[in-house]
Each structure stands twice: as C-alpha cells, then as structure tokens.
A = this chain, B = another copy of it.
Amino acid sequence: MPNRKKPETGRKSAYVARNRVAILKAALTVFAREGLEATMEDVSDEAQVAMSTVYKHFKDKQDLIASTTAYAFSEWESWVQQQISEVTDPLEQLVMPMRIFLRAKDTHPEYAKLVAKNFGVVGQILPNLSSVISDQVIGLNKLKVLNVESPAIAIQNLLSVLVIQLVNQTLNPKATTAEADATIRIALAMLGISDAKAKKLTESKINL
C-alpha cells in the first residue's frame, strides 16, 4: 500500500489532535442540546474554529455524528473502567457497568441526552456495548460462573432493556435510580442469574 501522506508528528500533530477533540466535544454539546438537526455551522461556532477546520477532520455531518458517538462512548467507557478498577467479583464486574450506564444522566448528561434524544445513534452504540458485554459473558461461561446457551441473543435482549431504560432515566423526570437497578435485577434472569443473586448484585451502594 503506498504511503499517501507522512504521518504527522511532534507539535503539529498534537495541535491537530487537540483541534479534533475540541470539535468532538463541541459536537457532543450541540447534538445533545439541539438534536441531530443541528448543523456543521452550529458545531464550528460552539468549537470556535473555522468551518474549513471542521471539514478537514470530518467529511460530512454523518461522519461527525458517528465520530461524536464513538468519542462519547469511549470517554464514558474509560471512565467506567476507572470506577470499577477495584471490583474483583467477576459477576459484579459484569453488572456494575450496567448500573453505572443507567446513571449516565447524572454522570455524563450530554452522552445520555445524545442517546435518548437521537434514537438513531443507538444503532451505533449497541455494537460497542455488545462486544464489551459479550466478552465478559463468554469469559464467565468458561469459568462456569454463568451457563448462557445463546449469549448473542441474551446480550442483545439485555442491551434492549438497558438502552430503553437509559432513555427513560434521561427523559422521564419521575424515573428513579431504584427503578433502574430493579430493571437490571430482573433482566439478569436472561443470563440465568437467580433472583437472589441478582438482588444482591444490584442493591449495593454506588458512589460515583
């Protein structure tokens, strides 16, 4: 494969990368606030960069939306990894991120709104969430902690529950954290986790 462009290194590439992140942060703010109808111009205004700079990084709005969703998810995910770094029980390692996900309205309000108000992006985050949970479930199957016969479908179902509940938690002012946890407790039955165990896994206190 011909090397079309020298990779950017040193100070210039750090500057370019910072610019890219600044645009992604601005896009997240704008799309969360105004929905996906917001324009590239709204994003360039928010980021305080020229339109040409936005287009240098993202070829069109579709590209910007996809990149913003991926960026918001990966930011959230690294943060979750820190939050659960001291969790050692393998089932808790599976369930805690689900409980934290349903608290995104408070911890990552723009990400929660991006998902809740723009259902189209759900299709983009599902594969990410899915692969994270899938690896864990397969691992737990091997350890005989779980015995899930059709992991792919069980996980898809679990994610359906989580995503719809995220929307509920974000948009419905009456939704409570207790309801979020109860949702997960019941959904864990689809992984063959007993209700007694599911109750224990979802009732511990979370400090974020």
Contacts and interface: CB of A to CB of B under 8 A. Distances in A.
Interface string A163-188: 11100000000000001001100110
Nearest to A149: B195
Interface stretch (A72-80, A99-107, A151-159): A151-159
Interface residues of A, number: 23
B150 A182 contact: yes
A84 interface: no
A190 B154 CA distance: 11
B119 A186 contact: no
A161 interface: yes
A145 interface: no
Contacts of A119: 119-120
A91 to B, nearest CB: 17
A123 B73 CA distance: 25
